[in-house]
Amino acid sequence: MPATADVDRLAREVFGFDGLRPGQRSAIDALIAGRDTLAVLPTGSGKSAIYQIAGLLRDGPTVIVSPLIALQRNQVAAISELGVAGVAAANSHVGITARRAAFEGLISGEVKFLFVAPEQLATPEVVRDLAAAKPTLFVVDEAHCVSAWGHDFRPDYLRLGGVIEALGHPNVLALTATASPPVREELVARLGMRDPAVVVRGFDRPNIWLDVETFTNEEAKREALVLRAAGELKPGIVYAATRKRAEELTAAIDEIGLNAGCYHAGLKAAERRRVQDAFVDDRLDVVIATTAFGMGIDKPNVRFVLHYDVPDSLDSYYQEVGRAGRDGLRSEAVLFYRQEDLGLRRFFAAGAVAVVPLTRVARLLEAVSDGPVDLRELRRVAKIAPSRLSAILGQLTHGGFVRVDPTGSLELLPDRPSVEDVVVAAQQEAEQRRTVDQSRVDMIRAYAESQGCRGRLLLSYFGEQTDDSCGHCDRCTAGVEVTVAEGPYPVNARVAHAEWGPGQILRYEEDKVVVLFDTVGYKTLSVPAVVERGLLDAG
């Protein structure tokens, strides 16, 4: 088993680190001890170094599941630049011959690190090749995508637990920059992690200045954002909720003489790549983008992140502002807030179930219930867009109708509910998800309208408690002092409500308590009412 000295030597000689950060050290030590590990560390905290160091110190290859090809490409380049041989990616942008060579190299031992996309694990041949290579470390990057509670749930991640077991359950490392307590619990369960070490560190980023500017007029808000983008040190990122708004803001910022680029999923891939490369190479002052931009971009000198629209959750917001100031220098994170904008986010919240396609897929699966169903064949027969089909399969999986077996094929469960019952269950789950999503919007509103320290509020959202003010937000500068109340239950205690069921105490502020309920999400209650009316019982 590698010793602490081996870790320090490798970090110093190969990676050029003077020392490891506490979160990195804890996660690496847990992996070396043979424990599955969940590392929740903020953007820019060096999460990739955890699997790189642990992988180099272990016998056998490391497989990394990563959702974005750009992220895979950047990581392959970063590891190769360290002088590490045997790094490859096998994704849709790599030719068939190169993909075949990557898997053969993994099996022969020539490839030490292999990056794959989650959708590739639906192919039985890929799972068989990975099993033949006997990986000793299986990494799930952007692990919050596993959780239906997460802000970026991806049904393709549902099969990962089965794949891990098919590979003989190598050591599992799950990495994410944002995972509130319920997300952590769900992804540990879905990945089948065994007695995992859970490392949560560093959500306080003192070099990122947190600010909220409030408006009642749309034109005033737009003018203020353009002027802020002009006045801040460059480069920076502006986030907008829609493609149309991103294009309009790009035109407005371009008009004042800044070199601006627009980025959203509706643009051609070549144009998105051009904008991303120009930004990384410091040839753009600012990128105006939807949330499609940022993941996988390792750029240390982003000086500001401005949000023209409220994000869908504090999870998303924290991940996006975390792209600023990775070099440790002061950076600005400003939310341009107009209460009316919350309606747009509520509109985007999870909607109704598409009953007809869901029923059709369930019936198709029943028609071939004599054995496993190949996902590619189902896609061909169902004639449903891949993203929609993935969502439907996620609903059928949650409903106990079907499971993804370790080869990536679909298998009907013998004690499955009827098609009618699974549709009803999916509708109920969608309604629950809508309620939870609405509660996340309420948390964004609480952040924007808070009279207290914004940094402390963010920390409590992610399960880190402190009585101290952050000292790097507009409320702290204004000298606002908000009493942190005490309540009948300690923070993080489990409680139960007669209507909303079980939940967890997140934080107290003045005479309010925020509780995260398992079924309805976040609720803010009056502490006096909780005490006088007995609204909560010990869980």
* 221 and 343 share one domain: yes
Q: Give Cα 141 distance to the centre of its chain.
A: 9
* 286 and 311 share one domain: yes
Q: Is residue 467 part of a domain?
A: no
The DSSP symbol for 468 reads S
For residue 4, count other CB atoms closer than 10 A to its CB: 11
* 65 and 166 share one domain: yes
Going residue by residue through the chain (539 aa), what tens digit of pLDDT does each one get? 566 678 888 888 888 888 788 888 999 999 999 999 999 887 767 888 999 999 998 889 999 998 877 778 878 888 888 778 888 888 777 778 888 888 888 899 899 999 998 888 877 788 889 999 999 999 999 888 877 555 556 667 777 888 898 899 999 999 987 777 777 888 898 899 999 999 987 778 899 999 999 999 999 999 999 999 999 999 999 999 999 999 999 999 999 999 999 999 899 989 998 998 999 999 999 999 998 676 667 788 999 999 999 998 888 898 899 899 988 899 999 999 999 888 877 776 655 667 888 898 888 888 876 677 877 778 788 888 776 787 787 778 778 888 766 566 778 888 889 999 988 888 887 777 788 888 888 889 999 998 889 998 988 887 777 778 899 999 999 887 666 667 788 887 889 999 999 988 888 877 888 898 888 888 999 999 999 899 999 86
Q: What is the CATH number of the domain that holds 25?
A: 3.40.50.300
* 234 and 309 share one domain: yes
Distance, in Å, from the CA atom of 189 to the CA atom of 225, rounded to the nearest integer, reads 42
* 120 and 267 share one domain: no
Q: Is residue 447 part of a domain?
A: no
pLDDT at 178 (0 to 100): 74
* 380 and 343 share one domain: no
Query: What residues contact residue 250 under an 8 Å CB cut-off, 6+ apart?
Result: 260, 261, 262, 288
**Start-to-end CA span in the chain (Å):** 41
Distance, in Å, from the CA atom of 112 to the CA atom of 126, rounded to the nearest integer, reads 17
Taking 3-state DSSP, the helix, strand and coil percentages for the chain, each rounded to the nearest 5, stand at 45, 20, 40
Q: Rounded to two decimals, what is the model's pTM?
A: 0.78
pLDDT at 38 (0 to 100): 94
Distance, in Å, from the CA atom of 284 to the CA atom of 274, rounded to the nearest integer, reads 11
Q: Does residue 235 have a cis peptide bond before it, meaning omega lies within 30 degrees of 0?
A: yes
Query: Element (H or E) spanning 212, and its range?
Result: strand 208-214
Q: Is residue 126 part of a domain?
A: yes
pLDDT at 155 (0 to 100): 65
How far is the CA of 371 from the CAs of 164, 215, 374, 384, in angstroms? Answer: 22, 59, 10, 22
* 527 and 423 share one domain: no
Q: Is residue 142 part of a domain?
A: yes
3 state DSSP class of 247: helix
Please list the residues that pair with 236 across neighbouring strands: 286, 304
Query: What residues contact residue 440 under an 8 Å CB cut-off, 6+ apart?
Result: 151, 312, 313, 314, 315, 521, 522
* 160 and 277 share one domain: no
Per the structure, the complete domain to which residue 133 belongs is given by: 4-200
What is the token pair recorded at 76?
């392959």
Q: What's the residue count for the chain?
A: 539
* 297 and 316 share one domain: yes
Q: Is residue 448 part of a domain?
A: no
Q: Is residue 439 part of a domain?
A: no
Q: Give Cα 480 distance to the centre of its chain.
A: 32
Q: Quick check: 319 and 43 in contact, CB under 8 A?
A: yes
* 330 and 363 share one domain: no
Q: Give Cα 38 distance to the centre of its chain.
A: 13
* 169 and 242 share one domain: no
The domain boundary residue, chosen from 428, 446, 472: 428
Q: What is the CATH number of the domain that holds 363?
A: 1.10.10.10
Query: Element (H or E) spanning 161, and its range?
Result: helix 160-166
Domain count, the chain: 4
Residue whose tokens read 């995260």: 516
Q: Is 496 left (phi over 0), alpha (psi -120 to 50) or beta?
A: beta
Q: Quick check: 55 and 113 in contact, CB under 8 A?
A: yes
Distance, in Å, from the CA atom of 188 to the CA atom of 305, rounded to the nearest integer, reads 31
Q: Is residue 435 part of a domain?
A: no
* 295 and 409 share one domain: no
pLDDT at 145 (0 to 100): 80
